[in-house]
Amino acid sequence: MECGEDLIYDLLRQRYPFYQLINFFKTHYNQETPLVLHAERFITELHEISSTNPYYIKNIIKVLTDNIDLLDDSSEGIIKVITEDDIDISEWLYEKYIGLLNLGQPDPTNTDVIQYRFNDSIKIKLEETPYVVSAAGTTGFRTWEAALFMTSFFVETGYLDTMSKKNILELGAGTGLVSIGLCKQYEDSIDKIYVTDGDSQLVEGQLLKNFNENELSHNDRVILQKLWWNVDDVPLDLDLIVAADVTYDSSVVPDLCETISNCFKRSSNDSAVCLLSATVRNEDTLDLFEKKCLELGLDCSIITTTNEDDQGNRLEQQLTFKPLIAPIRIYKITPK
């Protein structure tokens, strides 16, 4: 992994745990190969992050000031700060920390803007409420691990590369991570992508805002809309249906499966496929999902999991920065 200055700011934008930061520095840098930071950029980046989450920056600065010896030329020094304006970075850190000293922990319902880094070119910025599980009748205000795994799967495998047509539907889009990732990866080759959720306020608010945040237009090719499972009509002629963490409760499974089945019935593409990423919170719920798919005449198989090929560890190290709450599967569903 390239560990230059850009990566450090990407980690901070992704809210890398402040209590792990010093260990990261000591693992990846030393006096022979120090971390080189440019003072002016360092200050600008921290100001920008502080505008959405000052409490996080307060903790980052506290960690740095407690380990200020890492920034000097002593035997401990592994961070080299370059400045063009004679900025004393130690002094700046102390002054900034004093200014944030009285700042308390934010309310869990506060929004944050988090950027997820999948590689050097695919970085996705999302406004979300990361500490809220459910609010206003929806679980879509935060990014779930299954969405991170599915987006990582698309980025790493190039799964859509061989698809000649790309008419795509996402069910239960939530923050929009999966669809935004597909748009960034296949911007020039997607024919249409329907980004849907059952909550119209979420679609018109957070979801639209996140597409704008990533400079993606909402137009005749990128369509954001409410779609209530097994009630609203699904689009015609889909080639790919995607969904992440939509099997969170057994009560939603029948309508979800009926909706997937309807997508195939309304598509002229015999090779249409659905990929669904599911966190294994409850085996009974996923057993019900698999059983319902079979009842509807659908083939349902697991194509990858976080338990395979060290994928879970990579997800934790690069995206979640903490243990997964449960294993994650990606299902492939097709008509028989």
- Note whether 93 and 124 are same-domain residues: no
Give the pLDDT of residue 102. Answer: 93
Q: Kindly state the percentage of the chain with pLDDT values over 70.
A: 96
Q: What is the pLDDT of residues 163-185, one digit of tens each?
A: 988 999 999 999 999 999 999 99
Residue 141 above 90 pLDDT?
A: no
Question: Are 72 and 151 contained in the same domain?
Answer: no
The Cα angle at residue 306 between residues 304 and 307, in degrees rounded to 5? 95
**What is residue 73's predicted lDDT score, i.e. its pLDDT?**
61
**Which of helix, strand or coil describes residue 52?**
coil
CATH of the domain at 221: 3.40.50.150
Q: Last residue of a domain, which of 44, 79, 100? A: 100
Residue 233, both tokens: 């009509």
∠ CA 206-55-326, nearest 5°, is 60
User: Model pTM greater than 0.85?
Assistant: yes
Q: What is the pLDDT of residue 134?
A: 47
Lowest mean pLDDT among 55-69, 90-104, 126-140, 222-236: 126-140
106, part of any domain: no
pLDDT in tens, 231-247: 999 999 999 999 999 99
199 burial type by CB count under 10 A (0-12 exposed, 13-18 middle, 19+ buried): buried
The number of folded domains in the chain is 2
Predicted confidence (pLDDT) per residue in 66-119, tens digit: 999 998 765 568 999 998 888 899 999 999 999 999 999 988 889 999 999 999
Residue 208 has pLDDT above 90, yes or no: yes
105 falls within a domain = no
Domain extent, residue 55, equals 5-100
> Which segment of 39-53, 130-144, 157-171, 315-329 scores lowest on mean pLDDT?
130-144
Could you tell me which residues are beta bridge partners of residue 38? Answer: 82
pLDDT at 211 exceeding the cut of 50: yes
Verify that 80 and 121 share a domain, yes or no.
no
**pLDDT tens column, 291-307:** 999 999 999 999 999 99
Taking alpha carbons only, the member of 260, 276, 269 closest to residue 178 is: 276
Residue 64 sits in the same domain as residue 122: no
Same domain as 146, residue 94: no
Averaged over 15-34, what is the pLDDT? 94
Are 94 and 116 in the same domain?
A: no
- pLDDT on residue 75: 58
Mean residue pLDDT of the chain comes to 93
pLDDT class of 10 with cuts at 50, 70, 90: very high
330 in Cβ contact with 153 (< 8 Å): yes
Stretch 181-208: mean pLDDT: 94
Instruction: Verify that 218 and 276 share a domain, yes or no.
Output: yes
Task: Write the DSSP symbol of residue 276.
Answer: E
pLDDT band at 135 (very low <50, low <70, confident <90, very high): very low
Provide the pLDDT for residue 133.
Answer: 59
pLDDT in tens, 272-288: 999 999 999 999 999 99
